[in-house]
Amino acid sequence: MATNDLVQSLEKVSIKPSATIIHAETSSPARWKDALTASGSAPASFELIKTFIYKPKTAKTATPVPVVVIAREETETNSGAIGKKLNLKELRLASEDLLTEFFSLDKNSVSPLSLSESNFSRVLTVLDQSISSSSSTFAVHANSSSQTLFLSGKDIESYLKKLETADVKVQELDFQALSTAPAAAAPASKSVAKEKEGAKIEGAVQIAIGVKKELDFPTWYTNANMLDYYSVSGCYILKPWSYSIWEEIQSWFNTEIKELGVQNSYFPMFVSQSVLEREKDHIEGFSPEVAWVTRAGSSDLEEPIAIRPTSETAMYPYYAKWIRSHRDLPLKLNQWNSVVRWEFKNPQPFLRTREFLWQEGHTAHLTKAEADVEVRQILDLYRQVYEDLLAVPVIPGIKTEKEKFAGGLYTTTLEGYIPTSGRGIQAATSHCLGQNFSQPEMFNIFVEDPNDGSKSYVWQNSWGLSTRAIGVMVMVHGDNQGPGASSARSEHSGVIVPCGITAKTTDEQRAQINNACEDLAKTLKKSGIRAKADLRDGYTPGYKFNDWEQKGVPLRLEIGPHDLAKQQTLSVRRDNGVKNPIPLANIGQTVDALLKTIQSDLFARAKEQYDARVVEVTKWEDFVPALDNKCIVAIPWCHTEACEDDIKERSGRAAEPQDERAPSAGAKSLCIPFDHSRWTPIEPSKTKCPACNMDAKHWTLFGRSY
């Protein structure tokens, strides 16, 4: 409908635009506003109206009912919160085909005026409640991104109300209230609801976790006092108990990388659009997750500013400035910071979060050989973090071309395994970026070769470890009583609890027991053991036992009147419940040895479980059943991307029904392990890939993953 026809149509229902402007086509709010202001015909003050078309999750045989969301430009429109309010699942922005089918328009042209008698009853219309009560003048596309009408909020509401039928009404929502309400996942299906109910542990006392880890992880995490949910979906508060684990990782890793000549630094969290987009492959790998700052106060920024998803493009302009000679190499910097990757699908505490803490190392070297050595050195440090500190087994390997770091030469990785879900998880990565970022068209980082005087572009690495490590640890070692933290890294390695105090206990006896607990804690601390005496009044020993078990403290030491008389303490292991008396003489050495045994046993149990769940598969018909049996699959693979894509698609299609909120059921490549010794040797031209029957090149791990 032409603008004049649209104006006439509006006037027939007593709606008269205050102005009409024809301008150049616009593809963003900032450009639209600039075009209107530049025309000289716009009102002195106005706001933009934005219109989003969403498609809710719909059965394949059902006709989709698009959701038309109409709001003020500055209003936050959270699709998850809107879906929850309307009881709709997985609102996704509509495709161009759907827009054409329902509106015959592109995404930049739709507006409230795109609704008419012919399509209103086929869609669900949602209006920002604040529009109708506002005194502002609103700019509305006149069914074209190059034409704008100016209407009052009352006019917009009136236009939509006139399209209502007895069965189809406009839904008015308070978007401001929705934006401040805690976000939640889409409404669970009946089977999920039953799982939630089944997750509750019958007869659980108030102090216990109260839910089964394998069925309700979010509640389990919260009840374990590790985190709390924040008002922004996908962001979480790390409580002291979990953050202390991160501090231990920081302390150990800092010491190790400094031995390699790495120095800590800090770069700003903001990255200009021009710098971020300098490396095409790199930004394409992150573009769906980049969060942008587009406004300061009420003014649009001249250029959007990205919040770093990673820091290659932020740091490397300064590497070019600082590296002037081969004598400036190697340059090795690390920073501890937070990054934002706006994961819209299935955020999970620790594992997939929109903001997370990590360290990211960035180094520059004269030769590829030097860079290669460091890549493996760092990967082995990460292995030690997981296996030695957190008692979590991992498999080192290299990523496929499809799964490597965007813009890099190759990516090495540690792959973990979560027993409760049967999924693999990327634990840490160490990348060789090659000379991609140092080229003239990129950051132009070069030196004069000391051997022949030629221009030599530096070789670069980047490597990172995040708070995901905490989640992996507790998912591997936790149980229905709590996290079950590694003895090496929990906030307290041992807790001392006074016992045997009754109403008949004299004040003197009580003081003796409490003093003995305090003295034992001091003795253990002198031996480097993180010990705490729990002398809280008003709590029974049983309550304290449960409390510390829930927090995952590896070792409990009890002291009562009989223990004092025998100069001993009773030890109770968190991992298996075994009790043993320990003499107070040489207690530091004894407890230290016991904690190392607990650590070793935790790792051995987890490794045995991981090893048992990595299965060799040489026939396709065995592939999906192995996945459904919560296994990681090792196959002799052809190393082609087409086959890799086909494996994911076919395994997803053939898989058992999955929780709709879970990650994809299809299997992706996890890594090509460095060590192939556990599997049958591949015979050239004889061993075939079970997925495509081409010649196999490497044993490769595939699995469902986070």
CATH of residue 550: 3.40.50.800
CA–CA gap between residue 155 and residue 356 (Å, rounded): 44
Predicted local distance difference test score (pLDDT) of residue 282: 57
Single out the residue in 595, 626, 650 at which a domain terminates. Answer: 595
pLDDT value for 514: 96
Contact 470, 357 (CB under 8 A): no
Nearest 5°: the CA angle 3, 9, 15 is 100
What DSSP letter does each residue of 341-369 carry, written as one string?
----S--BTTTB-SEEEEEEEEEEESSHH
More confident residue, 672 or 501: 672
Which of 136, 156, 180 is a domain's end point? 180
Domain extent for 509: 494-595
DSSP state string for 408-422: -SEEEEEEEEETTTT
Residue 545 lies in a domain: yes
Is the residue at 185 inside a domain? Answer: no
Quick one: pLDDT band at residue 662, thresholds 50, 70, 90? Answer: very low
C-beta atoms surrounding 697 within 10 Å: 16
CB 486 within 8 A of CB 389: yes
Q: Are residues 523 and 639 in the same domain?
A: no
Q: Is the pLDDT of residue 211 over 70?
A: no
Q: Indicate if 127 and 170 belong to the same structural domain.
A: yes
State how far the Cα of 90 lies from the Cα of 83, in Å rounded to an integer: 7
3-state secondary structure of 300: strand
For residues 633 and 590, membership in a common domain is answered with no
Residue 166 has pLDDT above 50, yes or no: yes
Same domain, 260 and 358: yes
Confidence of residue 213 (pLDDT cuts 50, 70, 90): low
Kindly give the interhelix angle for 240-259 and 468-477, rounded to the nearest 10 degrees.
120
pLDDT mean over 664-684 = 92
Q: Which helix (DSSP H) or strand (DSSP E) does residue 153 occupy?
A: helix 153-161
Q: By C-alpha distance, which of 530, 484, 489, 420 is closest to 224?
A: 484
Do 354 and 347 meet the contact criterion of CB atoms below 8 Å apart?
yes
Q: pLDDT band at 660, cuts 50/70/90?
A: very low
**Least-confidence region, from 89-93, 119-123, 199-203, 565-569:** 199-203
In this prediction, residue 201 carries a pLDDT of 46
Residue 393: its pLDDT value, please?
98
| Tokens 């049967």 -> residue | 422
Output the pLDDT for position 210: 58
Residues 558, 636, single domain; the answer is no
Q: Is the dihedral of CA 71, 74, 79, 80 positive or negative?
A: negative
d(CA 392, CA 385): 9
Strand order in the sheet with 291-296: 270-272, 299-307, 291-296
- pTM comes to 0.70
Q: Say yes or no: 524 and 384 in one domain.
A: no
Report residue 644's pLDDT band, with 50, 70 and 90 as the boundaries.
very high
pLDDT at 657: 44
Provide the pLDDT for residue 185.
43
pLDDT at 687: 97
- The whole-number pLDDT of residue 656 equals 45
Instruction: For residues 549 and 651, state if they share a domain.
Output: no
The alpha-helical segments, DSSP class H, found in 329-421 are 368-384
Q: Do 22 and 168 fall into the same domain?
A: yes
Same-domain pairing of 12 and 158: yes
Backbone angles phi, psi at 382, to 5 degrees: -60, -40
Is 326 inside a domain boundary? yes
Q: What is the CATH number of the domain that holds 666?
A: 3.30.110.30
Is residue 54 pLDDT above 50, yes or no? Answer: yes
pLDDT value of position 188: 46
* Mean pLDDT for all residues in the chain: 88
Residues 536 and 660 in one domain: no
Distance CA 178, CA 315 (A): 38
Q: Which residues contact 119 (CB under 8 A, 6 or more apart)?
A: 102, 103
CATH number, residue 48 = 3.90.960.10
Of all residues in the chain, the percent with pLDDT exceeding 90 is 63
Is residue 607 assigned to a domain? no
**Predicted local confidence at residue 286, as pLDDT:** 62
Confidence (pLDDT) at 125: 96
> 3-state class of 23 per DSSP?
coil
Confirm whether 365 is domain-assigned. yes
Per-residue pLDDT, 659: 41
Residues 38 and 120 in one domain: yes
Contacts of 454 (CB under 8 A, 6+ apart): 448
Length of the chain: 706
Q: Cα(78)–Cα(188) distance, rounded to whole angstroms? A: 18
Chain CA centroid to CA 689, Å: 33
- State how far the Cα of 482 lies from the Cα of 217, in Å rounded to an integer: 11
**How many domains does the chain contain in total?**
4
> Do the Cβ atoms of 407 and 279 come closer than 8 Å?
yes
Give 483's pLDDT tier (boundaries 50, 70, 90). Answer: confident
Read off the pLDDT of residues 423-455 as tens digits, 9 standing for 90 and up. 999 999 999 999 999 999 999 999 999 999 899
- Say if residue 601 is exposed, middle or buried (CB neighbours under 10 Å; 0-12, 13-18, 19+): middle
Per the domain annotation, does 489 fall within a domain?
Answer: no
Residue 287 maps to a domain:
no
Tens digit of each residue's pLDDT (9 = 90 or more) over 552-609: 899 999 999 999 999 999 999 998 899 999 999 999 999 999 999 999 999 999 999 9
Q: Tell me the pLDDT band of 181, cut-offs 50, 70 and 90.
A: low
Residue 671 lies in a domain: yes
Per-residue pLDDT tens over the stretch 594-620: 999 999 999 999 999 999 999 999 999
Burial 208-225 (b: 16+ CB within 10 A, else e): bbbbbbbbbbbbbbbbbb
Q: Is the per-residue pLDDT at 84 higher than 90?
A: no
Residue 61 has pLDDT above 70, yes or no: no
Query: Which SS3 state, helix, strand or coil, does residue 232 take?
Result: coil
Distances in whole angstroms, Cα of residue 311 to Cα of each of 276, 294, 464, 691: 9, 20, 11, 38
pLDDT band per the 50, 70, 90 thresholds, residue 198: low
Pairing label, strands 459-466, 355-365:
antiparallel
User: Does the structure show a pLDDT above 60 at 196?
Assistant: no
Domain shared by 472 and 527, yes or no? no
pLDDT tops 50 at residue 227: yes
307 — phi, psi (to 5°)? -90, 125
Q: What is the mean pLDDT of residues 29-58?
A: 89
The last residue of one of the domains, among 543, 565, 595, is: 595
Sole residue written with tokens 């009881």: 87
